[in-house]
Amino acid sequence: MSDNATVTGGQTLSWDFTGSNYTATSNAQFAALYSGTVASYSGTGDVPTSSDSNVLYIAAGTMAAVPTQYVAVYDASTSDTIVGGENASAYFLENNTTLQLSAVDPIVYAKGDDLVMPGSGDTTIYAGTGSVSVSGGTGNLVFYGGTGAASVSGGTGTELLFGSTGTGTTYLQASSGNSTLSGGSGTGATTMIGGTNTTEFADGTGDVTMVAGTGDSQLNGMTGTGDEIMFTSPISNTGTAVFGLNNAADTVIAGTGQSTIVGGTGDDVFGFVDGHAGGSVVIEGFHTGDNLAFGNYSGWAIASETVVDGSDVMTLTDGTQITFLGVDHKFF
């Protein structure tokens, strides 16, 4: 279904978000905004400022700066750059647009092959059937992936990010603010990178890579069904991380900081690399079929092992301490 509006000069606009998961919301807002007189920009000269309309239609051009009078922008041009206006609160992007936003709090509908650069305002972005990339910004950010690929690198604000719902890949990188990341709910692969304080949720059937952040992190793999690779903390991080694995064959690479890992029923691998570890790790649910892997250690990796209060406690030569909760015997 398409929504139409009459444009000054007798043209007819058509916006169609069909194929996205947000078709109804997008089309309804477009119909409400573009139901009367619309200012049209053909790509020649400056964007009109004398029009009585406060909604703008960009038909062509490679660069457009939006004047302050406009509250909505519909960009039908391709391979162009739009510099957002101070009052524009809604953007409709057809394809292959770079959108540079300002301090206003906008909603962006991006059909695909678009790059959105948030500003200092709070931004909400709905993606469509093509690939959409988002980068930076100092305001809060909400991103809803469409059926295409999604790549979001946060700025400094609070974030709520949802990955692709189709076959497209998902890349979500949290900011230095508090962030919640939800991986792609379709079949595409997902990568999620933590920020300062991050909560991450796996989703869908695709493979998932989850990396804890530099502060407090919660990584929930139980909400997905694909194979998972998790990294507990970056090097030299002193934060804490809590992990939950699903029932697939998952891999966890331990790092610094303090981590608690709840295993699933699958055959999981817990890896420790000299120079990348050194933290404290508690593993709950370690069972027959799970494996330990040690890398880059000079000689035997285990410095000591003993049973303390019904749990096996293993110390590695780089200072890493591993507690196998409820395992009442030594492995080595």
Do the beta carbons of residue 57 and residue 76 sit within 8 Å?
Answer: yes
Do the beta carbons of residue 331 and residue 292 sit within 8 Å?
Answer: yes
Specify if 311 maps to a domain: no
Q: Rounded to whole angstroms, how far apart are CA atoms 296 and 53? A: 66
Question: Could you list the residue range(s) of the whole structural domain that residue 99 is in?
Answer: 3-278
Mean pLDDT of 133-144: 95
Specify if 19 maps to a domain: yes
In this predicted structure, what is the pLDDT of residue 10?
61
Q: Is the pLDDT of residue 2 over 70?
A: no
Mean pLDDT of 150-175: 95
Question: What are the b/e assignments for 17-49, b being 16+ CB within 10 Å?
Answer: beebbbbeebbebbeebbeeebbbbeeeeebbe
In this predicted structure, what is the pLDDT of residue 4?
66
Strand spans (E) along 84-167: 90-93, 97-100, 107-110, 114-117, 123-127, 132-135, 141-144, 150-153, 159-162
Specify if 167 maps to a domain: yes
Specify if 268 maps to a domain: yes
Percent with pLDDT over 70 in the chain = 96
Tell me the CA distances in angstroms from 152 to 158, 206, 239, 303, one per residue in order.
13, 18, 23, 42
In this predicted structure, what is the pLDDT of residue 112?
85
DSSP string covering 256-277: SSEEEEE--SS--EEEEETTT-
Q: 37-75, pLDDT tens digit by residue?
A: 899 999 988 898 877 889 999 999 899 999 999 999 999
Structure tokens at 236: 């030299």
Specify if 176 maps to a domain: yes
Specify if 332 maps to a domain: no
In this predicted structure, what is the pLDDT of residue 234?
67
Specify if 287 maps to a domain: no
Q: Is the pLDDT of residue 91 over 50?
A: yes
Q: 233-279, pLDDT tens digit by residue?
A: 766 667 789 999 999 999 999 988 899 999 999 999 999 999 777 78
CB 234: neighbour CB atoms within 10 A?
17
CA 5 to chain CA centroid, nearest Å: 34
In this predicted structure, what is the pLDDT of residue 236?
65
- Coil vs helix vs strand at 182: strand
Q: What is the pTM of this model?
A: 0.94
Specify if 288 maps to a domain: no
Number of domains in the chain: 1
In this predicted structure, what is the pLDDT of residue 235?
62
In this predicted structure, what is the pLDDT of residue 1?
34
